[in-house]
Amino acid sequence: PDKPITKKPAETRMGKGKGAPEQWVAVVRPGKILFEMEGVDRPTAEAAMRLAAHKLPIKTKFITREAEQAI
């Protein structure tokens, strides 16, 4: 979390500057890779990522990188 969200107390008059930090959030832009796994078989990785995705408040997608062919 690197972005503070500020909020003023309830029933406070307008003005008098910005409110105190209420919470911290992390900005996740579309296309950002959140997790990378190595050394785990695909079904186990998909199951783990499915469980992790349910904890996140954003839409996620499971992608794989095919093994590079040696020339």
Angle (CA) 49 55 60, round 5°: 55
Are 57 and 43 within 8 A, CB to CB?
no
Q: What is the mean pLDDT of the chain?
A: 86
The percent of residues above 90 in pLDDT, for the chain, comes to: 30
DSSP 6-63: EEPPTTPPS-SS--EEEEEE----TT-------SS-HHHHHHHHHHHHTTSSS-----
Q: Is the pLDDT of residue 68 over 90?
A: no
DSSP 8-state code for residue 67: P
What confidence score (pLDDT) does residue 17 get? 84
